[in-house]
A = this chain, B = another copy of it.
Amino acid sequence: MKIEAIDFFYCAIPDVKNIGDGSQDALLVRVQGGGHTGWGECEAAPLVSIANWICPMSHSACRPVIDAVAGQTVEGPEDIARIHREVKALGLDIAQTDHTLSGIDIALWDWLGKRLETPVYKLLGYTESHARDPYASQLFGDSPEATFTKAEESRASGFRAVKFGWGPFGLGSAEEDIQHLEAAREGLGPEIQLLVDVGTVWLDDVSKALSRVSAMEAANIIWLEEPFIGEAHSSYLELSKAFKTVKLAGGEGASNVYAAKNLIDHGGIGFIQIDTGRVGGISAAKEVADYALTKGVQFVNHTFTTHLALSASLQAFAGHPGKLICEYPVEPSILAQSLSHNQLERDDNGLVNLPDRPGLGIDVNIETVKKYLQDVRIEVNGKLLYESPTL
A-side residues, CB < 8 A to B, are: 12, 16-22, 24-25, 43-48, 50-52, 54-63, 85, 88-89, 92-96, 98-99, 166, 199-201, 203-204, 229, 231-234, 253, 255-256, 258-259, 261-262, 265-266, 278, 374-382, 385
**Bound form: Cα–Cα A256–B99 in Å:** 17
Chain B residues with CB under 8 Å of A24's CB are 58-59
A233 touches B265 (CB 8 A): yes
Chain B residues with CB under 8 Å of A51's CB are 45, 47-48, 50-52, 378
Chain B residues with CB under 8 Å of A45's CB are 51-52, 55, 58, 62, 93-94, 96
Tell me the minimal C-beta distance from A280 to chain B in angstroms: 11
Tell me the minimal C-beta distance from A338 to chain B in angstroms: 18
Tell me the minimal C-beta distance from A106 to chain B in angstroms: 17
Number of copies: 2
Q: Which of B54, B61, B233, B266 contacts A199 (CB 8 A)?
A: B61
Closest Cβ neighbor of A261 among chain B residues: B234
Tell me the minimal C-beta distance from A139 to chain B in angstroms: 10
Q: Which of B92, B94, B261 contacts A200 (CB 8 A)?
A: B92
**Bound form: Cα–Cα A140–B271 in Å:** 44
Chain B residues with CB under 8 Å of A89's CB are 201, 203
Q: Which of B18, B95, B203 contacts A88 (CB 8 A)?
A: B203
17 contacts between A and B (CB under 8 A): A12-B58, A18-B60, A24-B59, A25-B56, A25-B59, A45-B51, A45-B62, A45-B93, A46-B58, A48-B94, A85-B203, A89-B201, A92-B229, A93-B278, A94-B99, A95-B95, A95-B98
Given contacts A51-B48, A266-B265, contact A58 B25 (CB under 8 A): yes
Given contacts A25-B59, A93-B278, 8 further A-B contacts (CB under 8 A): A12-B56, A16-B56, A21-B59, A45-B58, A48-B52, A51-B378, A85-B203, A231-B258
Q: Which of B93, B199, B381 contacts A375 (CB 8 A)?
A: B381
Tell me the minimal C-beta distance from A86 to chain B in angstroms: 11
